[in-house]
Structure 1
Amino acid sequence: MKIGLLSYRSNPFSGGQGIYLKHLSLALLNLGHEVDVISGPPYPDLHEDIKLIKIPSLNLFELEDSLRLRSFRSRFLLNPTDLIEWLGILSGGFPEPYTFGRRVEKYLKESSIEYDLLHDNQSLSYALLDIQKRTPLVTTIHHPITKDHKLELESAKNWKQRLSTNRWHNFLKMQKKVAPELNRIICPSNQSKEDVIKEFKVNSSKLEVVLNGIDLETFNLKDHIEKTPFKVVTTASADIPLKGLRYLINALPSVLQDYPKCTLSVIGRAKANGETKKQIKRLGLESKISFHSELSEQDIVELYSSSEIAVIPSLYEGFGFGAGEAMACGIPLISTHSGGLKEVVGEAAIKVKSRDSEALSLAIKDLFSNSDKRAYYKRVGRERMEKEFQWLNSAKKYVEIFEEEIDRFKTN
């Protein structure tokens, strides 16, 4: 089968989508399929036998606000898609899913490559509705971004912040229209499926659940790496309320009373003048919390392996790669069961309520004080990942769905 994987951005260093694309494409390749990845920037890190087809964009999302206005070029006036992207970003929106759809549809029409199936990685762009008329199409929705939007509105401190988040999430109007019209959708957890049905009004008959895999070769036990005593690690895009980092930071002063050598390493980036930095300064934790971004997978493994405990304080996850990767590395995990996380961690991690700093501090202190409990969760976490989260098994289920959609397309 010749498969084209579509992704509007595929950052290999942060966020779940680049990781997802890298490992799904490799697993499909290992099953004997020919795989192209058709992606906008930032581009993914792929196996050498997988062809990357670049769909360039203006990539203004990566620029500082002060540089976006000056990025205008007169050629934008001759290219409606570029002009839409520039104006959209300039007005505080996020037009990339829409403009990627326009560009990839143009590429597919002009290309001589014929795919047996196309798979969209949550662009949910209008163009998909035309694309699926010509080529069998399956879409993954990791989770409805309406969840992010609602949490950001809850966290907004004033009308300006509410206006800003409403502008940025304007693409949701498109996604809410497109999702119900798609022929086949895959979700990475049952919770994500339920939320897609509720938030996007998708008929349940169109939805399938396939749990993601975890890269168990890269994320594995590294007992030769020395532990830093009382080191906690978490994965969080620092200023995104969805990740719940502020509750973990608020838990730290209580932990430090009993364990003054405790430190927190955050896999993610904090905005220079963002709420997270202000919170850390307000609590006097500048010397106790460090941020680590643009890390390779090997860098992340080493960061996990040098830590005594991992914590996932998320308010919602469609799946939860950070939790799975920590468990695969044998790091005792404390996690909420928000969203799809409960399906990832099961009983192999210590459960805490979301939005509960006191529960987090108590769980951390309990694990620090109990080496037997740490050893237990090290073992059962790794065992769960090996048993339930193999990428090859996930890819086999994807292929079954792909074949069903190809057959449905032919009969219609």
Structure 2
Amino acid sequence: MTAEAVATSPFAGPADDGERPLRIALLTYKGNPFCGGQGVYVRHLSRELVRLGHSVEVIGAQPYPVLDTGATLTELPSLDLYRSPDPFRTPGRDEYRDWIDALEVATMWTGGFPEPLTFSLRARRHLRDRAGEFDVIHDNQTLGYGLLGDLGAPLVTTIHHPITVDRKLDLDAAQGRVKRASVRRWYAFTRMQGRVARKLPSVLTVSGSSRQEIADHLGVRDERIHVVHIGADTDLWSPDASVAEVPGRIVTTSSADVPLKGLVFLVEALAKLRTEQPDAHLVVVGKRAEQGPVARAIETYGLQDAVRFVKGITDAELVDLVRSAQVACVPSLYEGFSLPAAEAMATGTPLVATTGGAIPEVAGPDGETCLAVPPGDAGALAAALGRMLGDPQLRARLGAAGRERVLTRFTWAAAAEGTAAHYRAAIEQSRAARSRRAR
């Protein structure tokens, strides 16, 4: 039997050496790359693991992952309660299949977010039915109770950053007692995630900043947390001189109604900037919010014609949009890594970014590979954007240095190699634990 046949056969035993390709189950409760960084992670990591010769089966719920050639998808459907265009829907009687479905609906009806728990319970049932088919199981931040105990293979979990950070920022932004109570209920699942995280033998994360947050917020012991940087698809995200630069264009990737992303401060900065550079304008890759702080700021400052939101564009269109900008901006209050920063830098587009969370690890030193400003400071953002727009030589220097930084530090190929090394370590740790129990 060939090594490839051993790797993909459901009858093959556990990995027996450090060279044999691995059979990997990659779990993701929300895997569409247009839903955020977790979907991007699944898509690119699975592709690069396959390129290394491993067999990758992604097991996911709606919205289902978009995968490249090589990895396979097994659908593990939820009731899809938050789907467009009818989020928070009530399913029909014929949609209920079991008690997990009932739990999912009951949690939604009481204001909670059920998907991490209910996906983990479905995944546990599915994996136990397939015991022996995988060498390692990789959970992409589900952190549900269902993933504790014996799943039939060693478990490795990625935590991009603790969702308790999002919870705190959303609570800080909430107005009134009722809204704050609603936010607390929505984020009730973070208590479960903390309890599960503390029991995990191996946790991967994407930055040193996230590593510290996981230890501080979730109480995971330092020796169990390992950093494997992620990155950009540097073949797709690359410079292209044939794409015309649009004067005054600033591009950012952000959801308008997520306080953590800091978009309201960028809108305020744009208003300040346009008093001196009237051609400055902003293109936001993300969904426009019709209400909330960002919508109010756009109206207050009269920026309806200077801020445009785009959504649902192709990868090629997105890359060309970033290439066409004179400046890319990451205004976030916090990021566990910041893929938009790495991707913009990979195109050679100069970057203005805050120092929130792990962004400095990605963007690099102020004045060398980016212009860095404190998070939540609209005046500093306006000054940095104005400096960048007004200095073509600075843009060229920082753009070239930014791409070089990504090429040497943040690629998906390197991420896959590092992740696979931790898979093998988890397999060996599991084998050693079995040997100790057998004595």
TM-score exceeds 0.5: yes
Deviates more, 1:102-111 or 1:310-319: 102-111
Aligned to 1:242: 260
User: Could you state the TM-score of these two structures normalised by the residue count of structure 1?
Assistant: 0.96
Q: Which whole-Å CA distance do the structure 1 matches of 2:381 and 2:304 have between them?
A: 20
Matched, 1:274 2:292: yes
Residue pair 1:305, 1:331 contacting (<8 A) in 2 also? yes
Question: Which letter does structure 1 place at the counterpart of 2:280?
Answer: C
User: Is 1:289 aligned to residue 307 of structure 2?
Assistant: yes
Question: What SS class does the counterpart of residue 290 from structure 1 fall into?
Answer: strand
CA distance in 1, matches of 2:251, 2:35: 15
User: Which of 385, 400, 407 is matched with 2:406 structurally?
Assistant: 385
Aligned to 1:114: 133
The CA distance in 2 between the partners of 1:159 and 1:223, in whole Å, is 53
- 1:63 CA displacement: 4.4
Q: Alpha-carbon deviation of 1:179?
A: 0.4
Q: Following superposition of structure 1 onto structure 2, how do residues 263-342 of structure 1 map, counting pairs within 5 Å?
A: 263-342=281-360
Poorly superposed stretches of 4+, deviation over 6 Å: none
> What is the aligned counterpart of 1:145 among 160, 163, 181?
163
Residue 278 of structure 1: how far off its partner (Å): 2.1
Q: 1:159 to 1:63 in 2, by over 3 A?
A: farther
Aligned to 1:167: 185
DSSP-derived class of the 1:118 partner: strand
Alignment of 1:205-284 (within 5 A): 205-284=223-302
| Counterpart-to-counterpart distance in 1, 2:66 and 2:306 | 32
List alignment gaps of at least 5 residues for structure 2: 1-21, 434-439
- Counterparts of 1:56 and 1:300, CA distance in 2: 29
**1:129 paired to 2:151:** no
SS in 2 for 1:257: coil
Within 2, Cα distance between the matches of 1:280 and 1:264? 11
For structure 1, the 5+ residue unaligned runs are none
Equivalent in the alignment of 1:407: 428
Match in the other structure for 2:3 = none
Give, as a single letter, the amino acid of the residue that structure 1 aligns with 2:119.
Answer: F
Superposed displacement of residue 60, structure 1? 1.1
Q: CA deviation at 1:319?
A: 0.4
Contact 1:13 1:295 survives alignment (8 Å): no
Partner of 2:109: 90
**Which stretch of the first structure deviates more once superposed, 20-29 or 289-298?**
289-298
CA contact (8 A) 1:14 1:294 kept: no
How many angstroms does 1:64 deviate by? Answer: 5.7
Name the one with the larger helix percent.
1
SS in 2 for 1:316: coil
Q: Structure 1, residues 184-236: CA drift from partner, whole Å, max 9, x if none?
A: 00010011000000000001111101100210011010211111110100111
Q: Which amino acid aligns with 1:402?
A: Y
For residues 80-135 of structure 1, the C-alpha deviation after alignment (integer angstroms, 9 at most, x for no partner) is 11111112222221110100001111111223661000000000000111245x31
* Kept after mapping to 2: 8 A contact 1:61/1:89: no
Do structure 1's residue 33 and structure 2's residue 54 form an aligned pair? yes
For residues 93 and 205 of structure 1, what CA distance do their matches in structure 2 show?
32
Q: Give per-residue Cα distances to partners, 1:269-304, cap 9 Å, x unaligned.
A: 122223321221122111110111223321210110
Query: Relative to 1, partners in 2 of residues 1:174 and 1:305: Cα closer, same or farther, differing over 3 Å?
Result: same
Check conservation: 1:101, 1:126, Cα contact below 8 A: yes
Mapped partners of 1:256, 1:298: distance in 2 = 29
SS in 2 for 1:199: helix
Aligned residues: 409
AA aligned to 2:179 is: Q
> Quick one: structure 1 residues 115 and 270, their matched pair in 2 at CA, closer, same or farther if it must change by over 3 Å?
same
State the alpha-carbon separation in 2 of the partners of residues 146 and 61 from structure 1. 21
Contact 1:14–1:268 (CA<8 Å) still a contact in 2?
Answer: no
